Structure 1
Amino acid sequence: MSTHSNISPFAFHKIRDYVYRTAGIIIGADKTAMVTGRLWRRLELLGHKDYETYFAYVSSPAGAQERSTMLDLLTTNETYFFREPAHFNFLRDEIIPQQGYNKMRVWCAAASTGEEPHSIAMVLADTLGKCDWDILATDISGKVLEHARTGVYRAERINHIPTDYLKNYCRRGIGEYEGMLAVVPSLRSRITFEQHNLLHPRETNEQFDVIFLRNVLIYFDSETKQKVIEHMLQSLRPGGWLILGHCESLQGLNVDIKAVSPSIYRKPAAAVPVFKRVAS
């Protein structure tokens, strides 16, 4: 048992406050075990006797790298291939046909270790083939994005991948990669992985046809949700779709977007101007 399993209310408050101010994520008052469970090895590695001295170091100019590490550890969440499969079915059966099989841009806004954007890519590759499509995958954590870029996963992670997709888009590792699975390079090349904080709008004016923002709003309060969704809508084209996690909704927020079904929303299409003929 680690000697760093106890954290003072003061240090816990400081760490919670930093994560909220930086990432907008609320760590519940009952999450002391989660915080110590994820951070105690850092205290041992860096030689800090308690969380007060650790946070003092994190807050100092010398602790810039450790701030990033702490944030990575406290904001990384579990994910897997084809989680909540109804959303991928909706993408394949509803969105893509309505899009008319034209160029499609998708933003996976909470990409974590990459299982979700790679799942999206399999659907697009299967449905659109070599047509013009691409995916932006972002996360606040640089560490998980490093993993995501490799496209390599433990073989036990493949349980939810449809058999045809597994055959066409994944390769089993051999030798030193025994027990691993790799997403094929032709699929990975369509995904751009980029670090991004959802509390800030995209600096580019790019517009997306679909935005996946799944299982992240549950960590935000109403004010932060409002801000994040406003940023999403700035980057979603008129008529585009926003997909949340099954346990999430936009209820109580002041946003111009319509529910299509639970957890799936569509931005109103742009109004077509009407020109009246002027009598000469």
Structure 2
Amino acid sequence: MALDTISTADFERFRRLLYQQSGIHLADNKQPLLIGRLGRRLRELEIDSFGEYFDRVSRAGGEVELQRMIDLLTTNETHFFREPQHFVFLREQVLPHHPAGTPFRAWSAASSTGEEAYTLAFELAEKFGDAAWEIVGTDISHRVVAQARLGVYPIERSTEIPPALLKKYCLRGVRSQAGSMRVMTHLVQRTHFLPANLLAPLPDIGRFDVIFLRNVMIYFDLETKRRVVDNVLSRLKPGGTLFIGHAETLQNVSERVQLVKPTIYRLSGAH
């Protein structure tokens, strides 16, 4: 099977399909990425060409394989306490002002393998203990959602977590689990992951005090950013805080939120 190249026409068809399904735009220089990630799948299925595979994922009844394709082509880079100043702001400026006795809810809107959501869990557990709090993590990739639900990570990731929090909220794997660590069960039980497409109608996940929408808009064009942000903001409580990635901005994207400081926004008034 000659799967080391793809025709311009087939690449364009995949690019258009991925954009329609996820809002992600593959640049011209991403052809090697597409060939590498999908080529392995084609070999597993014993499919001889990218054109034949496209026909499979785009026809009626191809929804399962289409989701597999999206899983393969989406990038899932994350780690614990990524862009740490956001968590400092959360700890010092948001959590202390939350009304006592009111459940606190946080949404990791592009949660990947779950490190961001569990970082939030560490922070909320430190602040609220056994009081009512909850985290929801969503991602378009079913594969990473399943991985996040386990709360299990390579032990090398432990260096990203402050030692006191690591000792308090994670367990080192032993015997068959050697080389891994696991987030403690009582935090996993408060951190719920489910698949969701930020461009589509969202599942019934309620509204949130804080939303982390970080390092996902870099893959979108301006119109897609506007649609995604509008969709996400429909789930933010008035007065709630939105965090975006440090390489991102909401300039020309949304006027519904006020800039608190770079990459941190607040929703005011009732919606």
The TM tier, using the shorter chain, reads over 0.9
Q: What is the deviation of 1:92?
A: 0.8
1:160 paired to 2:151: no
Q: Once the two structures are superposed, what CA deviation does each residue of 1:131-165 show, in whole Å capped at 9, x if it has no partner?
A: 11101111111111110000011111222111111
User: How far apart in 2 are the matches of 1:208 and 1:86?
Assistant: 20
Structure-2 residue corresponding to 1:274: none
**Is 2:47 the counterpart of 1:48?**
yes
Query: Bigger CA drift: 79-88 or 55-64?
Result: 55-64
- Residue 94 of structure 2 corresponds to 95
Q: Report the counterpart of residue 144 of structure 1 in structure 2.
A: 144
Q: Give the Å deviation of 1:216.
A: 0.4
Question: How many positions carry a matched residue from both structures?
Answer: 270
Deviation at 1:62, TM superposition (A): 4.7
User: Unmatched 5+ residue regions in structure 2?
Assistant: none
1:276 equivalent in structure 2 = none
**TM, length-normalised to structure 2:** 0.95
Residue 135 of structure 2 corresponds to: 135
**C-alpha contact (below 8 Å) 1:230/1:255 kept by paired residues:** no
| CA distance in 2: counterparts of 1:164 and 1:191, whole angstroms | 20
- SS of the residue 2:265 aligns to: strand
Q: Distance in 2 between matches of 1:204 and 1:145?
A: 17
In structure 1, how many angstroms separate the alpha carbons of the residues matched to 2:153 and 2:254? 39
Q: CA RMSD in A?
A: 1.6
Q: Give the Cα separation in 2 of the matches to 1:154 and 1:3.
A: 35
CA distance in 2, matches of 1:93, 1:190: 22
Over 3 Å counting, the alpha-carbon distance change for 1:205 and 1:88 in structure 2 is closer
Aligned twin of 1:121: 121
Contact (CA 8 Å) 2:113, 2:144: kept in 1 or not?
yes
* Whole-Å separation in 2 of the counterparts to 1:83 and 1:43: 34
Q: How does 1:1-280 map to 2 (within 5 A)?
A: 3-101=2-100, 102-204=102-204, 206-270=206-270
SS at match of 2:237: strand
Give distance in 1, aligned partners of 2:149 and 2:167: 21
TM-score, normalized by length of structure 1?
Answer: 0.92
> Which amino acid in the other structure matches residue 241 of structure 1?
T
Shift of 1:226: 0.7
1:258 counterpart letter in structure 2: Q
What secondary structure is seen at the aligned counterpart in 2 of 1:249? coil
- Report the Cα offset of residue 87 of structure 1: 0.8
Change (3 A) 1:159 1:260: same
Cα offsets for 1:56-111 (capped at 9, x unmatched): 12223353321111100111321111111111111111110122454211111001
Any conservation in 2 of the 1:141–1:195 contact (CA below 8 Å)? yes
Identity of aligned residues (%): 44
- Extract structure 1 runs of 4+ deviating beyond 3 A: none
Instruction: Please give the per-residue CA displacement for 1:12-40, whole angstroms capped at 9, x wherever unaligned.
Output: 11111111001111111111111112111
Q: Distance in 2 between matches of 1:68 and 1:203?
A: 17
